Structure 1
Amino acid sequence: MVEVGAQCPVHFVGSVPLGSIAEVLTTISSAAAGAHVSRLPDGELGGKKGYVSNQRATFERLDAFQPGAQRSDWRRLNSGIQQFALKSLKEVPTVADVGELGHARWAMEAYQTFRDLKQRGFVREETRLKMALPSAYGVLSFFVDRESVPALLPTFIAAIGAEIDRIAEEIPHDQIAIQIDASMEFEALASGDARFLPISVAEAAGQLAQLGATVATDIELGFHCCYGNMNLKHYVEPKDTGDMVAVMNAVCSGLGRPMAFVHMPVPIDRSDDAYFEALKDFRPGSGTELFLGLVHDVDGLKGSLARAAAARRACERFGVGTECGLNHRSRDNVLQIITLLGEVADALSPDMASASR
């Protein structure tokens, strides 16, 4: 059974485009939604901006790669992505060759601000700083031609794991949570598009479990299931929660450690029972929080509660969030959504409390 607190918790996926990390942390903490949040995002600002696009410099500086074809980006009209290819499939870079990816450095910068604000009373004592990192398949699918991906997966799983190790060395474990973002995996499963290296449910779960297992057991670990976010629209719309449930169930089975939370998106037009039906088969470990990204600003409180009502027919207890990060939004819109998240959580909390009895 998915376990959450008596109140309806709120989850921020990652990107919150405000002026600074401090503004992200204090704005959420001081809003009504803040009382429902146990993991504060860093906002993914500055050099960290971009789910995987912040890794372009990694491929540009490695001698093992050469520029590949400028392939069309099926998610954006009239645009392309500069891909890279291994010069030789027999000369794969090592973790030492790959070096720093930036995630540990960004985490330390965010933690210094987080720690200072907590000491000054602007951030609640019980909250953690949540750091989101991409999966290896996600990074490689974006930047590397599909023929090179299989050879590179072990190296990049280990390289991202090394970043997680450095975060664990520098930041107290009870102050942080690590979120693994899985986007390209679910886009590939949903679309079958030939531009992706084919991946199965078992393969996606195996790679995510391997990466998740690098997180120390006393650090909270969670996963964000994603279908992309370009101009406030999924790259591929999930037909239901089936793939997400299948992958996350398999991750739980292969992880070998607790999973603190899972986030799954809910498209704005899905308040039907069919979308949520697979949640009846979701079998995370004890203590795992399920967050459903069913809050949309377009139809506000009424539409969000309609989706929540449908979700509760499959799963009584869950937290809420938006379907993806808040990138591509104006400041005023971000503030509006933060307020809306608090309103939805306040409205759902009595139902969640009754379900916990």
Structure 2
Amino acid sequence: MANALHLVGSIPYDTAEETFRSFGGALGDHLTTIPDGEIGPRQHWISRVHYQILAGHPQLEVVRFPEPVDGVEQQFPRNAGDSWLFKVKDGIDKVRFGDPGWRLGYARDAVNSYFVFRALRDAGELPGHLRFQVSMPSVVSALPPRIFPNPDDIEKLRSGYQDALAAELQMIIQKIPADDLAIQWDCSTEMQDSYGAVPGYSRDGAVDRNTPQFRALSPLIPEDVMLGYHLCFGTLGGWPRFAPDDLSGAVEMANGFVEASGRRVDWLHIPVLDRADDAFYAPLADLKPQGAKIYLGAIHNMEGYEERIATARKFLPDFGVAAYCGMGRVPPAELPDVLNDHVQAAET
């Protein structure tokens, strides 16, 4: 029986056309939505926000840059210990962003890639049912506590960034037809928080800390636009950044996202580790998706793939599959193998 597939976001090609032709051409019949591969700086996920958006903001100071290599600047950190660090300047209570709708760059990139998507779909090179997927880091994940030496700076920045992200979202909705569009929130810090893995934060209250952003943002998305969430164990410095004992935190956070969204949620993507024991997957029985399609990020180490799927189905009979995360940090030379893994998963 063929499996439904999902692509999380980043794929290390140089152009959106390459993403659509390669992964869309081979997998399109199994997909509901397709991203543009988060080409260019977006392949490095939140690091793009840090060096393109925050590093030049007049109300912020850069406390630390990623370490240069052989005297050459590096915009993208090698691991969390090499990340950009920022400080809000004295006297600033709320960092604000200008050029609403365009400042963060997500709307501009989405509009540009959408027309490539539409041209290929109209030419019959992509299946007609496919929607264009725009994946964006959540507010909490774009601005994680680890990039602020002074914890008091976190909310000073997150409030204004949420305003900017809301304007970006509304611009995307204005420029791309609703029945062609799907929005995905990417959530890594939230996932870590759900397991007590964010230094300085207790696991207690994690859902309440992380859902207000979606109570504000997700209701802005019209019902005709699809909405999904990607929960992530993180890939900076190698995947996974942390390896929990089971999926309980992921399930708790996913349920919280669905409840907070104020509208229909169309899918939830939950990564799974290279394990096939009942204890790891058992929390899936507590998922309350309220109609959302579940995609398990199980496409990795294909020797153990079928065993992982069989164990997961004991607790969640119906789900699609995906990679554990975006592929932006995968060496491009490995993409043919990654694509073959997806084809195998679709046919297994």
Please report the TM-score for the alignment, with normalisation by the length of structure 2. Answer: 0.88
Write the distance in 1 (CA, Å) between the matches of 2:2 and 2:191. 30
Equivalent position of 1:189 in the other structure = 194
Deviations 1:43-80 (A, max 9, x none): 011142211111122112222112225699xx967952
The question of whether the paired residues in 1 share the 8 Å contact of 2:80 and 2:237 is answered with no
The question of whether the paired residues in 2 share the 8 Å contact of 1:205 and 1:248 is answered with no
Q: CA deviation at 1:119?
A: 1.3
Which one of 238, 249, 257 corresponds to residue 251 of structure 1? 257
Distance 1:93 1:232, change over 3 A: closer
The question of whether the paired residues in 1 share the 8 Å contact of 2:28 and 2:126 is answered with no
Count of residues in Structure 1 that have an aligned counterpart in Structure 2: 334
Equivalent position of 2:134 in the other structure = 131
Write the distance in 1 (CA, Å) between the matches of 2:332 and 2:52. 29
Q: Does the alignment pair 1:316 with 2:317?
A: yes
Which one of 203, 213, 233 corresponds to residue 219 of structure 2? 213
Write the distance in 2 (CA, Å) between the matches of 1:43 and 1:285. 29
Partner of 1:93, secondary structure, is coil
Equivalent position of 1:12 in the other structure = 7
Equivalent position of 1:351 in the other structure = none
Write the distance in 2 (CA, Å) between the matches of 1:191 and 1:174. 38
Q: Does the alignment pair 1:295 with 2:299?
A: yes
Distance 1:278 1:210, change over 3 A: farther
Write the distance in 2 (CA, Å) between the matches of 1:258 and 1:221. 7
Deviations 1:80-116 (A, max 9, x none): 2231111136431234377610000010111011011
Partner of 2:98, secondary structure, is helix
Deviates more, 1:138-147 or 1:63-72: 63-72
Deviations 1:250-304 (A, max 9, x none): 2222221000100000111x11111111111111122x110000111x3x2x411
Structure 2 gaps, min length 5: 68-76
Write the distance in 2 (CA, Å) between the matches of 1:45 and 1:143. 24
Q: Does the alignment pair 1:282 with 2:276?
A: no
Deviations 1:167-225 (A, max 9, x none): 01101111111110000122233353437798712211232343322222211010000
Partner of 1:96, secondary structure, is coil
Write the distance in 2 (CA, Å) between the matches of 1:113 and 1:70. 35
Q: Counterparts in 2 of 1:150-165, with a 5 A limit?
A: 150-165=155-170
Partner of 2:135, secondary structure, is strand
Letter in 1 for 2:108: R
Write the distance in 1 (CA, Å) between the matches of 2:199 and 2:24. 43
Equivalent position of 1:45 in the other structure = 39
Deviates more, 1:143-152 or 1:253-262: 143-152
Distance 1:59 1:197, change over 3 A: farther
Partner of 1:246, secondary structure, is helix
Write the distance in 1 (CA, Å) between the matches of 2:197 and 2:298. 25
Q: Counterparts in 2 of 1:1-357, with a 5 A limit?
A: 7-31=2-26, 33-55=27-49, 56-69=51-64, 80-88=82-90, 90-96=92-98, 100-141=103-144, 143-145=147-149, 146-194=151-199, 200-230=206-236, 232-268=238-274, 270-286=275-291, 288-296=292-300, 298=301, 300=302, 302-347=303-348
Write the distance in 2 (CA, Å) between the matches of 1:123 and 1:196. 45
Partner of 1:343, secondary structure, is helix
Write the distance in 1 (CA, Å) between the matches of 2:201 and 2:99. 25
Letter in 2 for 1:208: F
Letter in 2 for 1:165: Q
Write the distance in 1 (CA, Å) between the matches of 2:79 and 2:324. 23
Q: CA deviation at 1:229?
A: 0.8
The question of whether the paired residues in 2 share the 8 Å contact of 1:21 and 1:42 is answered with yes
Partner of 1:317, secondary structure, is coil
The question of whether the paired residues in 2 share the 8 Å contact of 1:34 and 1:342 is answered with no
Letter in 2 for 1:244: A
Write the distance in 2 (CA, Å) between the matches of 1:329 and 1:76. 14
Distance 1:237 1:210, change over 3 A: farther
Structure 1 gaps, min length 5: 1-5, 348-357
Write the distance in 2 (CA, Å) between the matches of 1:151 and 1:97. 19
Identity %: 26
The question of whether the paired residues in 2 share the 8 Å contact of 1:202 and 1:247 is answered with no
The question of whether the paired residues in 2 share the 8 Å contact of 1:191 and 1:236 is answered with no
Write the distance in 2 (CA, Å) between the matches of 1:255 and 1:172. 21
The question of whether the paired residues in 2 share the 8 Å contact of 1:231 and 1:328 is answered with no
The question of whether the paired residues in 1 share the 8 Å contact of 2:94 and 2:159 is answered with no
The question of whether the paired residues in 1 share the 8 Å contact of 2:218 and 2:261 is answered with yes
Deviates more, 1:161-170 or 1:230-239: 230-239
Quote the RMSD (CA, aligned, Å).
2.5
Q: CA deviation at 1:130?
A: 0.8
Please report the TM-score for the alignment, with normalisation by the length of structure 1. Answer: 0.86
